[in-house]
Structure 1
Amino acid sequence: MFRTIENRLTPGPNTKKWIDPIFRVLISLIFIIGGLGHFGQHQMMLDRMAESPWAGTVDMIGDPSILLWLSGGIFLVAGLTLALGWMTRTSALLLFVTLVPVTIAIHVVPDSSHVGPLFKNIAILGALLLIWARGAGAYGLDNRSL
């Protein structure tokens, strides 16, 4: 019975070819919007960083404002290239490497209200690993003929 249900839910070939670009775009949106937020809500994000128990560590790494500009730029550019499926593996890896310290600095805190956002970021990290492993998939610019 369960196998029959699973078989009926299996997408057809026409649906399957659209999953890759939809997946890339949906994942990339959080980085594009978030990257814009690093620029448009810069002071508010700096204030959140200052309240983090990791603020001292962030200060040791570098100027929080510069780090915020840098991560925002990476989120924006790599999010756009990920959506297009261009330099897909590089984009996914850059986003992964940038998201890990952001997640630690902002969401690994004693405040229980950060549990949801923490696990949202962990899920996104998993999606980025999947994209890194699989590549652009269907309709990615990485697959175009030169």
Structure 2
Amino acid sequence: MTNKIQINRRSIQLLRILISGIFLVAGGNHLLNTEKTVRRLEQASFKGIAYFFGDPEWLVILSGIVMLAAGFLFLIGYKTRWAAIVLLLVLIPITLSVQVGQINTLGPLFKNIAILGGLLFFVMNDTDQLFKIK
């Protein structure tokens, strides 16, 4: 037995559009300000998590490309579940390496946790089905 609730389609579109904005801005920033982003990563308490995955400059560029591509797909609602999964996979190591351990600035950590919650909504719910033309 499945429980069904009604959700306004526009609210789902709005949530998707608003969440995508952070990834589009951050992805662009990673590509346009690579050196500054690498320096920020090198100053992070848990930078070893990032170093585990490879060269910081390469990671910043790759994550920027992925955030822009998946963020755009998420924005337009194409393959939303897969775009959300990809964005989760990028956001988790960024959050663990840069935000965790920043005891003086917990706001960005909890911002990322909130974004993770929004992405999980789209991973757990097949919202693409709501917008198919029948």
TM-score band by shorter chain is 0.7 to 0.9
Distance in 2, matches of 1:58 and 1:23, equals 29
Match of 1:73 among 62, 65, 69: 65
Match of 1:122 among 100, 113, 131: 113
Which residue identity does 1:128 align to in structure 2? L
Q: 1:17 Cα deviation (Å)?
A: 2.6
* Kept after mapping to 1: 8 A contact 2:49/2:93: no
Where does structure 1 lack aligned partners over 5 or more consecutive residues?
A: 1-12
Which residue identity does 2:114 align to in structure 1? A
Q: 1:130 Cα deviation (Å)?
A: 0.3
Distance in 1, matches of 2:124 and 2:52, equals 33
Q: 1:74 Cα deviation (Å)?
A: 1.1
TM-score (norm 1): 0.80
Match of 2:52 among 60, 64, 77: 60
3-state SS in 1 of match to 2:78: coil
Q: 1:138 Cα deviation (Å)?
A: 7.4
Q: Does 1:35 align with 2:47?
A: no
Q: 1:135 Cα deviation (Å)?
A: 2.6
Q: Does 1:86 align with 2:78?
A: yes
Once superposed, what is the RMSD of the aligned Cα atoms?
2.0
Q: 1:136 Cα deviation (Å)?
A: 3.0
Tell me the percent identity.
Answer: 33
Q: Does 1:97 align with 2:89?
A: yes
Q: 1:36 Cα deviation (Å)?
A: 0.4
Q: 1:112 Cα deviation (Å)?
A: 1.4
Match of 2:14 among 22, 29, 45: 22
Which residue identity does 1:22 align to in structure 2? L
Q: 1:55 Cα deviation (Å)?
A: 2.4
**Alignment length, in residue pairs?**
129
Distance in 1, matches of 2:49 and 2:99, equals 14
Change (3 A) 1:73 1:144: farther
Q: 1:107 Cα deviation (Å)?
A: 0.6
Q: 1:139 Cα deviation (Å)?
A: 6.8
Distance in 2, matches of 1:92 and 1:47, equals 27
TM-score (norm 2): 0.87
Q: 1:137 Cα deviation (Å)?
A: 4.8
Structure showing greater radius of gyration is 1
